[in-house]
Amino acid sequence: MFEKIWENHEIVSEQGKPSILYIDLHLVHEVTSPQAFEGLRLSGRQVRRPELTFATMDHNVPTKDRFNISDPISKQQVDTLTANCKEFGVKLYDLNTIDQGVVHVMGPELGLTHPGKTIVCGDSHTSTHGAFGALAFGIGTSEVEHVLATQCLQQAKAKTMCIRFNGKRKPGITAKDMILGLIAKYGTDFGTGYVMEYTGEAIRELTMEERMTVCNMSIEAGARAGLIAPDETTFAYLRGREYAPQGAAFDKAVEQWRALCTDEGAEFDLTLDFDVATLIPQVTWGTSPGMGTGITDSVPVPEELPTENERKAAKSAIEYMGLKPGTPMTDIEIDYVFIGSCTNGRIEDLRAAASVARGYKVNPKVTAIVVPGSGRVKIQAEKEGLDKIFVEAGFEWRDAGCSMCLAMNPDVLQPGQRCASTSNRNFEGRQGRGGRTHLVSPEMAAAAAVQGRFVDVRKWDFKAEVTA
């Protein structure tokens, strides 16, 4: 599939040089674009295809009192995006629109993400869009400028890897557990230089949103991009969306999309297997997404790890995380819960978290926030009454944005605070200086909010009704 998309977009291919690849969709946000627009201005260049370029503001925006950005530098960055979009004729979904949201939630919702497209954004989690069978990857600001100016990128062809997710998921096991489990097993750089295609029974059974969760974290495995072949699930999701082909054009598009799928017997540079049937809910204990384990397991003992680099890294991570080697994961108490992000801020994620929270109260020592991935997710959740479930349980119900995934807005952990987070990175200081992040699924995060520590959500007593 990667080869087919590549061939469809390769404009120039010269021996010993990177290819020139055409880009179908360019998503833009406020943090990685100002220097790119400035570059265009300095060189007197225009945006070549403004109609293929869509912008939103997500990283900096407050999730309460959102129009009042108190940090003047954040405000300047948001205002700069607005001015740049106006000057260069780029469509912007700003805070006044219901479509505003985390850029990787917004794109698919609008139906901008199609199978077979090449999609880039100055954001590493652009890999999310691969869930539709699009070749989607993150780029730096110089490349943002390159795409704005030329609608192309110079790219060397990546190697291909097939990840086979074998077996069926047990109840309580989420797409997040699948990708966290994969990275815990193989590490954070096994994907470097590769485009990964996720296959197997467990992938086919995922909903579109679950597939996005898996592809989202491809970058955490080091991969350039993650791909899932489009199928009926993909087409059903896309049908009727604003930027999806309409009517007969849609059916024609479906035919073309089907033809993109990897041919039987196609060869990959590398194939890996991952067993889903034995997977248990995952929690990270360290400061790299690969430092994770099952909820029934314990914080590792660094001395027992195989290599010197691993021992050193684990020791330093455990120290930063304020943990003791050998502590059962279920003994780890938390102060904060963040439910949201481009990994787990979609409606199904909120439904899953709400189903756990329903009828319970957030532990009094825990602050728990729910940040919908977009304005549309928020409205849908409110229609379904999810906001009420959360608020009655003691969660804060916020506005859309990246929020505490990277804490560029006011949602920041204090030093030493420990957070159960549905986001994608547990790096040192990611959610605030000295903050300690444990990556989990929305279900696990909601359960941790209630209990004040990590619990095995497979044993959760789900309540049908909201009780006082």
Among 174, 213, 216, 288, binds other proteins (CB under 8 A): 288
Rounded Cα–Cα distance for residues 208 and 205 (Å)? 9
User: Which residues are paired to 101 by β-bridges?
Assistant: 374
- Measured from the CB atom, is 193 or 452 closer to other proteins? 193
The residue whose two tokens read 């690969």 is: 290
Ranges of H-type helices in 53-170: 72-88, 103-110, 141-150
Size of residue set near other proteins by CB under 8 A? 75
The residues in 4-33 that bind other proteins, with binding defined as CB under 8 A, are 8, 11-12, 16-18, 20, 22, 24, 31-32
322 binds other proteins per the rule CB under 8 A: no
372 burial via Cβ count (<10 Å: 0-12, 13-18, 19+):
buried
Given 123, 335, 411, 443, the residue binding other proteins (CB under 8 A)? 123
Q: Cα separation of 220 and 295, whole Å?
A: 20
CB of 452 to other proteins, least distance (A): 25
Q: What is the DSSP string of 244-280?
A: S--THHHHHHHHHHHTTSPPTT---SEEEEEESTT--
| Binding map of other proteins across residues 237-276, x = CB under 8 A, - = no contact | --------x---x---x--xx-------------------
Nearer to other proteins, 429 or 452 (CB): 429
Kindly tell me which of 250 and 351 has the beta carbon lying closer to other proteins: 250
- Answer for which of 41, 86, 156, 278 binds other proteins (CB under 8 A) is 156
Q: Between residue 386 and residue 405, which ones bind other proteins under the rule CB under 8 A?
A: none
Indicate if the alpha-carbon torsion angle 460, 333, 125, 96 is positive or negative: positive
CA distance 395 to 464: 18
Q: How far apart are CA 82 and CA 86, in angstroms?
A: 6
Closest CA to 212 of 274, 151, 148, 128: 128
In the complex, minimum distance from the CB of residue 43 to other proteins, in angstroms, rounded to a whole number: 7
User: Minimum Å distance from CB 260 to other proteins?
Assistant: 10
Using the rule CB under 8 A, is 122 a contact of other proteins? yes
**Closest CA relative to residue 337, chosen from 404, 401, 420:** 420
**How many Å apart are CA 335 and CA 437, to the nearest integer?**
11
- Identified binder of other proteins from the candidate list 86, 91, 192, 391, rule CB under 8 A: 192
Binding mask 201-230 for other proteins (x = CB under 8 A): ------------------x--x-x------
Q: Rule CB under 8 A: choose which of 140, 240, 328, 385 binds other proteins.
A: 140
- Is 166 among the residues that bind other proteins (CB under 8 A)? no
Interaction residues for other proteins, span 327-356 (CB under 8 A): none
